[in-house]
Amino acid sequence: MGHLSILEHASFTFGIDGISRVTSHQLVRHRVASYSQQSQRYVKFDSPEFVLPSTVTIDESRRQRFEAALKNLYSLYNEMIEEGVPAEDARYLLPNAACTKIIVTMNARELLHFFTLRGCERAQWEIREMATEMIVLAKTVAPVIFADTGPACVRGACSEGKMTCGKPDEIRAKFKSL
């Protein structure tokens, strides 16, 4: 009936691993939440992991050039550490592609809002994929609350105006089937 304040009493905690710093930065813009993120000040990254976009990996030469640049950054990062630069300063070299770990707690009302924004095709692919996985988990434990969760078009008209992806039927079917 739209009395969403009662949903604020139920909270959900997710342990998220293997997302890029691009996505964690987008995630923490959601202020009605609590976060604990792996430190780049106190953790040294000896064997770094990255997220590579498919628009890069689809072309072998492009992937190699992208990875070479990342390797150079990490070589220099390790050189700085060996020379005594503190990790908190050497980390200025670390790229947005670097993987991070983060724990996030949101109440159900905020999660519904988050899934509306980040499940939409207008959200970037990585946070959208992450939000979709979170929806599957949330639906498992609270199927009633999250029955029609997802972008606005799942519950009615598209909210994106001229920026619409133009395929609401496909998107509705995707979220209904999760």
Ligand X SMILES: Cc1cc2nc3c(=O)[nH]c(=O)nc-3n(C[C@H](O)[C@H](O)[C@H](O)COP(=O)(O)OP(=O)(O)OC[C@H]3O[C@@H](n4cnc5c(N)ncnc54)[C@H](O)[C@@H]3O)c2cc1C
Amino acid at 76: L
Is the Cβ of residue 108 or residue 123 nearer to ligand X in the bound state? 123
- Contact region with ligand X (CB under 6 A), list: 51-59, 94-102, 116-124, 136-144: 116-124
Question: Rounded distance, CA 132 to CA 117, Å?
Answer: 11
Interaction between residue 122 and ligand X (CB under 6 A): yes
> Is 29 one of the annotated active-site residues of the chain?
no
Min separation Cβ 28 and ligand X, Å? 9
Residue 156 structure tokens: 């009615």
Interaction between residue 28 and ligand X (CB under 6 A): no
**Which H helix or E strand runs over 36?**
strand 34-37
Alpha carbon of residue 83 to chain centroid: 34
Residue 150: is it exposed, middle or buried by C-beta count within 10 angstroms (0-12/13-18/19+)? buried
Min separation Cβ 122 and ligand X, Å? 4
The residues annotated with a catalytic role in the active site are 118
Binding site for ligand X (CB under 6 A): 29-32, 110, 113, 117, 122-123
